Structure 1
Amino acid sequence: MTTLNQNATASGTEDARGRPDITADVVVIGGGSAGIGVVASLLKRAPDLQITLIEPNDQHYYQPAWTLVGGGAYDARKTVRPMSHVIPRGATWIKAAVVEVLPNGKRLKLSNGKSVAYRNLIVCPGLRLAWEKIEGLEQTLGKNGVTSNYRYDLCAYTWQLVQGLRKGKALFSQPGMPIKCAGAPQKALYLSCDHWQKSGVLQNMQVEFNLAGAALFGVPAFVPPLMKYIEKYQAQLVFGSNLVKVDGPSRTAWFESKDEHGAVIRQAKTFDMLHVVPAQVAPDFIRTSLLADAAGWCEVDPGTLQHSRYPDVFALGDVCSTSNAKTAAAARKQIVVVAENLMAARDNQPMPLRYDGYGSCPLTVEKGKVVLAEFGYGGKLLPTFPLDATVARKSAWFLKARFLPWFYWNGMLKGREWLTKLSKVG
C-alpha cells in the first residue's frame, strides 16, 4: 500500500495547463466496510489494477458490534484497527477528504487543496450522523445519562448506564428512515431490558421506545416475534414521536408528534437514561453534487449499482439511493456486484450481476439469542439458512457475536466473497 499524506508538498488544484495534481485509474471514495471490501475484491480479480483510495481517517471500525458493546457482550477495543492495517496491498491511499465531486470533468477536489482525475469512480463514503438536528444533544452526549451506540466512544457508556440503573425511566429513540442498521435502536432497548430483567430490577424501570415511524420494523414478518419481546420487557411503544431537543442537566427530552388534525405538538419527558439515534444524511459533498438524487443520496440503478446518469461511476454502501437496509451485510453483496459490473463495463461488456436488495439485521432480542432478519427489495425474505427466520436462536447469536466479527476482518475486508450468490442480469 502506498500512502499519499494530505500534507504532501505539491500545491494548487491544477497546474497552469489545467492538469490535475493526481491522475488515477479507479478511485474509491471511502475506507469503510464498502470501500475496503470493494478494493480487495477488485484487486482479487485484477491484481495489476491501479486503485486509489481516498479516506481521511486513521482508524477503521467494525460498527455492527457496537450494539453488543452497549449490552455488555463485546469489548469495544476489538472493533477498531488502524486504517493502514486494513487497506489492501496494491492500493494507493490518499489521506484526505473529498470536498467536491465534478463528474462532468471526472474530477475530485480534496481537503488538501489537490485535485484528482479518474477513469472510474466508486462512491462509498457512508453517511453522516446529523447530531446537530437535535437541539442541545451535542453538548450532553456521553454524560447526564445521554448515550448512543452509534458512536465508538459512547457505546461503552451505554453499558455503564445500564449497569448503574436500578430504577427510573429509560427512553430510547429512533428517527425517520433511512438510517444505518435500522434495527440498532431497538437492539439497544432489548439488551438493556434483558440485563435489567436478569438483575431483578426490570419491574422498577419505565422503558419507552419513541419511534418517528409507524411500525416497529419495516418487514412485517418480523413484527410479531419482536412484539413478544416488547411485551416481555413491558416496554411502551410511542409511534410518530421524533426526538428534537435534549437538556442533559435537567434530564429532559422533547419529542414532536402530530395530533389527529396534523398539528405538531411537542412533549417534554424526563429520563434517567436516554439512548439517542440521530437523523442520518448523505455527506455534504455528495448531497450537493450532480451525483445526488432529490433526497441527496448517490443515484444509482438499484440492480447494477451503476450511476443513473454517469456510466463511469458506481456506488455502494450507505450512500446509495437504493431502498435496501443500510447494513454491512448489504455492502457485502454490493461489493461483488460493483466489482463484477465495473470490470465488465471497463471491457465494454454487458454487466453480469444484479443486486437483489439483500440486507441483514441480526436483532439481538436478548443476550444469547438473535432473530436473524434477512430480506431484500420489497421486504422479500432472503434467509441464508433453511430455518424459520422469525425465531430467536442461540445459533444466530453465535453468528452475530463470534463468527461475523472474525469473518469481517479476515474475510470481507480480504476479498473473500463467501455466501454472496447473486442474480445474473437478464
Structure 2
Amino acid sequence: MALQSGRRLLGLKFVRRIIAQENEIAMFSTTGPTNAKSCKVLVVGGGTGGISTAARFVKKVGKGNVIIIEPTDTHYYQAMWTLVGGGAKKFTDTSKPMKSVIPSGCNWIQDKAVKFDPENNTVTTEGGETVNYEYLIIGMGLQLNFENVKGLVDALKTDPNVVSNYSPNTVNKTFPALQNLKNGEAIFTFPSTPIKCAGAPQKIMYLADDYLRKNGRRDNVHINFNTALGVIFGVPKYAERLRELVSKRNITVNYTHNLTAIDADKKEAVFEILGNDKKETKSFKYDFIHVTPPMSAPDVLRNSNRLVDSTGFLDVNKETLQHVKYKNIFGIGDCTNIPTSKTAAAIAAQNGVLYKNLSLVMEGGNVSSKYDGYTSCPLVTSYERCILAEFGFDGKVMETFPVDQGKERRSMLLLKKHVMPTIYWEAMLRGYWNGPGVFRKLMHFGKS
C-alpha cells in the first residue's frame, strides 16, 4: 500500500512538472493567437482622461475587463508646470510612476497604439498586438509639435534662453533662464493651434514680471506677449481684467503674431502676421523667449480618417462625448473636438458625463447626460495672486465661489498651488471627482 502511494505521488509530481514546463513554453511562445487580447472596455491613453475613466469602469465591469494602452513610464500633473517654470514648485512634485496610477484591476499594455479599426472593434499596438474591444474610450491628449517652428528644436537644446514649460524635457530650463535675465527683451508666445490650457502662456509671463520686479530688474526688461489670437483671452469678463493687468504692468501685447522660426545664433524670433494677405513677417530680438509650441491630436489619431473631423481631432458629440458615427466609442479630453478650453478641469466634468452615457449604452439604452462645456483656468498673475477663470460653452461664466473670481486673490493661488494637486492625485485619478458642479450649486443656493 505504501509503495503504491509513493508511486502515485511520484506520478503526480511528474505530471505537474510536465504541465509547468508546457505552461512555461506557452508563455514565451510567439506563435498562435497569443498576440490578440480582448476586453470589455479599452482605454487608449494613460493621461488624465484615460486613467480617471479607467478607474470608474473597472469598478463597473470588474477586474480584468479593462485594458489601458499607454507607452510611457511616468504620469505627469502638467497643470503644475507653470509653477515649476516660475521656481515655485519642484519638478519632482509633478510626477509619479505610471504603474502607481494604473487603477487596480486594469490590465496595462505598455505600448503605443498605431492603428484604429473601428469597423472591427480593434486597436493595434506598435509591438504588433491586436486588442479587441466592446467599448473604446480615446483619451490620447495632445501632441507637441516643436518641429513645426523652424530652428526651435535645436534652439531648445543649445540656447539656454529659449525655454518652454510644455515638455518634461524643457520645463526645468525656464527658471534658471529667468534668474539669469538681467536686461533686454523677453518674449512669450501663443501659437495658432489649439493648446493645453489657453492661460498657461500668460501665467509664466506674469510670474516672470513679478520675479523681475522683486529682484529690481523689471525696468531693464521689456516684455512682449506675442499671440496668434486676436484677443488676450476667449472669455470677455476675464479678457477685460487681463487687458487691465498687462496695461498696469507695462506688458506689450502683439495680436495675430504667430511664431514660425527661431535663429539662436542671431537671437531672433520670426513671426508671421495672421489675417494679412501680404503674408507679412516680423522679426524680434530676444534675450529670453518662452515658447508655447504648436499642438495637434496625435498623428495616429489624425491619420484615422473615420474617427476624426477635418481638423484631425476625435469627432464626438460635444454634449454626450459619444462618437458621431461609432456608438461604442467615446472620447475625453484634449484629443477631442469639443469646443472648450483643454484643461484637467474640463476632463473632470467630462468624466462624469462619459461614465453615465457609456453605462447607458452598455445597458442597451441611449445617451442622455450632457456636458455643459465647463472648464477652469487658474490664471496665476503673481507669486501671491490668481484669477480663477471658470466658464463653459460660448464663454458662459460658471464661477464656483460666491465672490468675483475675476479679481486677483491670494485664496485662489493657494487653491491652485495646494488644494488642486491633492484633488488630482487622490480623487480625480481614482475616479471620484466630477469637478466642482455640486459645490457651485451649494454656494449659489441651488442655482446653476
In structure 2, the residue matched to 1:37 is 52
Map Cα deviations across residues 133-170 of structure 1 (whole Å, 9 max, x no partner). Answer: 10011111154210001012322211111111121110
Q: 1:258 and 1:350 mapped to 2: Cα distance?
A: 43
Q: Which of 80, 83, 91 lines up with 1:68 in the alignment?
A: 83
Alignment TM-score, normalising by the size of structure 1: 0.93
In structure 2, the residue matched to 1:134 is 149
In structure 2, the residue matched to 1:238 is 254
Q: Which of 297, 317, 327 lines up with 1:311 in the alignment?
A: 327
- Say whether the 8 Å CA contact 1:11–1:114 is kept in structure 2: no
Q: Which of 76, 90, 108 lines up with 2:123 in the alignment?
A: 108
Cα displacement (A) at 1:11: 4.6
User: Are positions 1:417 and 2:421 aligned together?
Assistant: no
In structure 2, the residue matched to 1:345 is 361
Q: 1:221 and 1:88 mapped to 2: Cα distance?
A: 39
Cα displacement (A) at 1:228: 2.3
Map Cα deviations across residues 331-364 of structure 1 (whole Å, 9 max, x no partner). Answer: 1111111111111110012324111111100000
Q: 2:29 and 2:207 mapped to 1: Cα distance?
A: 51
Map Cα deviations across residues 35-74 of structure 1 (whole Å, 9 max, x no partner). Answer: 1111112234444571000000000000000001111111
Q: What letter matches 1:178 in structure 2?
A: P
- The structure number with the bigger radius of gyration is 2
Q: What letter matches 1:106 in structure 2?
A: N
* CA gap 1:65/1:182 in 2 versus in 1, 3 angstroms: same
SS in 2 for 1:411: helix
User: Are positions 1:281 and 2:286 aligned together?
Assistant: no
Cα displacement (A) at 1:392: 1.0
In structure 2, the residue matched to 1:96 is 111
In structure 1, the residue matched to 2:370 is 354
Q: 1:96 and 1:10 mapped to 2: Cα distance?
A: 19
- Say whether the 8 Å CA contact 2:64–2:107 is kept in structure 1: no
Q: What letter matches 1:206 in structure 2?
A: H
Q: Percent identity?
A: 36
In structure 1, the residue matched to 2:42 is 27
User: Are positions 1:52 and 2:70 aligned together?
Assistant: no
Structure 1 window deviating more from structure 2 (351-360 vs 202-211): it is: 351-360
Q: 1:258 and 1:240 mapped to 2: Cα distance?
A: 5
Q: Which of 136, 139, 159 lines up with 1:124 in the alignment?
A: 139
- Say whether the 8 Å CA contact 1:37–1:415 is kept in structure 2: yes
In structure 1, the residue matched to 2:351 is 335
Q: What letter matches 2:348 in structure 1?
A: R
Alignment TM-score, normalising by the size of structure 2: 0.88
Q: 1:31 and 1:329 mapped to 2: Cα distance?
A: 17
Higher helix fraction: Structure 1 or Structure 2? 2
Q: What letter matches 2:167 in structure 1?
A: R
- Say whether the 8 Å CA contact 2:400–2:437 is kept in structure 1: no
Q: 2:257 and 2:269 mapped to 1: Cα distance?
A: 12
Q: 1:236 and 1:175 mapped to 2: Cα distance?
A: 17
SS in 2 for 1:366: coil
Q: 1:383 and 1:273 mapped to 2: Cα distance?
A: 35
In structure 1, the residue matched to 2:381 is 365
- Say whether the 8 Å CA contact 1:41–1:336 is kept in structure 2: no
* CA gap 1:138/1:184 in 2 versus in 1, 3 angstroms: same
Q: 1:194 and 1:60 mapped to 2: Cα distance?
A: 30
User: Are positions 1:268 and 2:283 aligned together?
Assistant: yes
- Say whether the 8 Å CA contact 1:36–1:88 is kept in structure 2: yes
In structure 1, the residue matched to 2:270 is 254
* CA gap 1:25/1:84 in 2 versus in 1, 3 angstroms: same
Q: 1:62 and 1:247 mapped to 2: Cα distance?
A: 32
Q: What letter matches 2:140 in structure 1?
A: P
Q: Which of 295, 309, 318 lines up with 1:302 in the alignment?
A: 318
SS in 2 for 1:264: coil
CA RMSD, Structure 1 to Structure 2 (Å): 1.8
Q: Which of 151, 155, 163 lines up with 1:147 in the alignment?
A: 163
Q: 1:248 and 1:40 mapped to 2: Cα distance?
A: 45
Q: 1:181 and 1:328 mapped to 2: Cα distance?
A: 9
Q: What letter matches 2:341 in structure 1?
A: A
- Say whether the 8 Å CA contact 1:304–1:337 is kept in structure 2: yes
Q: What letter matches 1:403 in structure 2?
A: V
In structure 2, the residue matched to 1:211 is 227
- Which segments of 5 or more consecutive residues in structure 1 lack a partner in the other structure? 1-7
Q: 1:231 and 1:421 mapped to 2: Cα distance?
A: 34
Q: 2:353 and 2:384 mapped to 1: Cα distance?
A: 33
Q: What letter matches 1:380 in structure 2?
A: K
- Say whether the 8 Å CA contact 2:387–2:408 is kept in structure 1: yes
Q: What letter matches 1:270 in structure 2?
A: K
In structure 1, the residue matched to 2:19 is none
* CA gap 1:381/1:49 in 2 versus in 1, 3 angstroms: farther
